[in-house]
Chain A
Amino acid sequence: MTADEAIHARFCVSWPGFTFDVDLDLPGHGVTALFGHSGSGKTTLLRCLAGLERRSRGSLRFKGEVWQDSERGLFRPTHQRPLGYVFQEASLFAHLSVQQNLDYGRKRVSHTHPVSLQHAVELLGIGHLLDRMPERLSGGERQRVAIARALATSPALLLMDEPLAALDLKRKSEILPYLERLHDELDIPVCYVSHSPDEVARLADHIVLLSEGRVVAAGGLRETLARLDLPTAFTEDAGVVIESVVADHDEIYHLTRLDFAGGNVVVARRPEPVGRRLRFRVHARDISLTLTRAEGTSIINRLPATVIEIASADTPAHVLVRLDAGGTPLIARITRRSLDHLEVAPGKPLWAQIKAVALLA
């Protein structure tokens, strides 16, 4: 990545009881998840990027363009930044129809449109809603229109603030596929705020972990999630994300085999065809360790792995063990007693038993 392709952001803004102070480089492509608990500063970061926090001090350079430089008194107002913003709650203009909402931003963009309105409407599947007023839409439909409206301005940067947070599980699963298509079909860098590990694991390429207004870790999704030195707040939900390919279906037992670098896992029959890429997540608490390839167990998925490092977990009773399974990192959360009992130490070969796999599609 050349320096000009990236986003360099340094912001400082404080309220009574909360100081937000970050300095980070974001990649100029793919989906970057801004992840953290509520009050960690995720939304503040997004608002600073958009220029909606006029009080923030600092600097922002987007692919070589200066958007903010407080030292030099530069601040490009939001309406002059080529970005799209999807707010957490429904933000459609209540006095305009869906079509008029979509036109609102598009009409105000002077440059040529790499993303046509038609494309945005198709991508989000809202063609049948164009004549409706926002009050006549469901929550999921509103968010799809809001996303299409942001896309129709052909943004150079798309900012999304928990676009699924206000929706129930059913609506969420209705929108997620559209977000994935977005990721696959459009080459727009996206900053995606979320506090749902599954959403992050499913959509993100990069991740920024925030806690109490500061950046705790930032980097590629898989590398960052496999780190053991993250604060406790993130380890209770520790786990890794693995990219796999659908390898085979077992019609007798109704199972599907997923291959990845270093091994495979077998899961309940998936609808995806052989060859389809599929991401899955393995929680640290769902991995147990054995010294030998245990027979006589109901657990199907056992992988040979080597211990890389050991770190303390969220409780004094547990530890986190990072393993390498033929190139794929795994994290296991085991008790300190088991650690001593099995004499787990870096370099030791073991078997990792995977009790459950969370498929992210």
Chain B
Amino acid sequence: MLSAVDLAAVWLTFKLATVTTAILLMVGTPIAWWLAGAQSRFKILIGAVVALPLVLPPTVLGFYLLIALGPHGLVGQFTQWLGWGILPFTFAGLVVASALYSLPFVVQPLQQAFEAIGPRPLEVAATLRASPWDSFFTVVVPLAKPGFITAAILGFAHTVGEFGVVLMIGGNIQEKTRVVSVQIYDHVEALEYAEAHTLAGGMLLFSFLVLLALYSRKGRSAWT
């Protein structure tokens, strides 16, 4: 049903979304934690920066990333100095771009979860001799588990669905940067509607199932 090229695109998409989600959970958690607790003036500023990808056209984000990561960009020069080469048109470049693009989808549910927990459980843990790190992992993370799951699902699904950023920063290289959404575009361009249908239908089903899972989770209120 799926050709080898299509399968490669599916596998690449899955790999990209998994790696991106893992990185986002690691990077997004401290950002969300800071945003949830901060009383600093920069909170609004950082919050707005994190939310930018929600409203920015993906091509704009992709364009600036292409320049920044490129051979003359600041990040590009840094990666070259490190001996990594330049990132655009590589899988690593896609991961960086996807992570930025999906950042708000991970940070916002986490921030909401942390805000809902409030400072009290941490104070309780402190009076029971738990250090701040200890209480973060033994109290905050378990209590914010629904938030982590929502963040992971949204981050993963949103990365699977991206198109514009990928096209700008990754181009269209088979098994390296050609993800499902780009592959569908290719099929349509080539008037291969049957193949496009298969992939597009798969994406539709996938997206629907993700939302179904998400909403059924919301129906089950956790620890309230």
Do chains A and B interact in one complex? Answer: yes
Q: Does A108 contact B (CB under 8 A)?
A: yes
Give B144's nearest chain A residue, CB to CB: A95
Chain B interface, DSSP helix/strand/loop, else mixed: helix
Q: Does A232 contact B (CB under 8 A)?
A: no
Kindly specify which of A75-83, A164-172, A333-341 makes contact with the partner chain.
A75-83
A78 CB contacts on chain B under 8 angstroms: 123, 126-127
Q: Is the CB of A79 within 8 A of B129?
A: yes
Give A50's nearest chain B residue, CB to CB: B127
- Tell me, rounded to whole Å, the shortest Cβ–Cβ distance linking B124 to chain A: 5
Q: Is the CB of B143 within 8 A of A104?
A: no
Q: Is the CB of B223 within 8 A of A105?
A: no
Q: Is the CB of B128 within 8 A of A105?
A: yes
Bound-state Cα–Cα, A299 to B215, Å: 69
Q: How many A-B residue pairs have CB under 8 A?
A: 62
Size category of the binding interface on chain A:
20 to 34
Q: Is the CB of B143 within 8 A of A95?
A: yes
- Tell me, rounded to whole Å, the shortest Cβ–Cβ distance linking B122 to chain A: 10
Given known A-B contacts A52-B126, A94-B143, A94-B223, A79 and B120 have beta carbons under 8 A apart: no
Interface residues of B in 123-161 (CB under 8 A from A): 123-132, 134-135, 138-139, 142-143, 145
29 contacts between A and B (CB under 8 A): A52-B126, A52-B127, A78-B127, A79-B125, A79-B131, A79-B132, A79-B135, A83-B127, A85-B124, A85-B127, A87-B123, A91-B120, A91-B124, A93-B121, A93-B139, A93-B143, A95-B139, A95-B223, A104-B125, A104-B128, A104-B130, A104-B138, A108-B130, A108-B134, A109-B129, A149-B128, A150-B127, A153-B128, A159-B127
Chain A 21-65 interface mask (CB, 8 Å, partner B; 1/0): 000000000000000000000000000001110000000000000
A109 CB contacts on chain B under 8 angstroms: 129
- Tell me, rounded to whole Å, the shortest Cβ–Cβ distance linking B82 to chain A: 39
**Residues of B participating in the A interface, judged by any CB pair closer than 8 Å:** 120-121, 123-132, 134-135, 138-139, 142-143, 145, 223
- Tell me, rounded to whole Å, the shortest Cβ–Cβ distance linking B144 to chain A: 10
Q: Is the CB of A108 within 8 A of B126?
A: no
Most buried by B among A80, A83, A91, A150: A91
- Tell me, rounded to whole Å, the shortest Cβ–Cβ distance linking B221 to chain A: 11
Q: Does A189 contact B (CB under 8 A)?
A: no
Q: Does A237 contact B (CB under 8 A)?
A: no
Q: Is the CB of A93 within 8 A of B124?
A: yes
Given known A-B contacts A95-B143, A95-B223, A108 and B120 have beta carbons under 8 A apart: no
Q: Is the CB of A87 within 8 A of B128?
A: no
Give B129's nearest chain A residue, CB to CB: A108
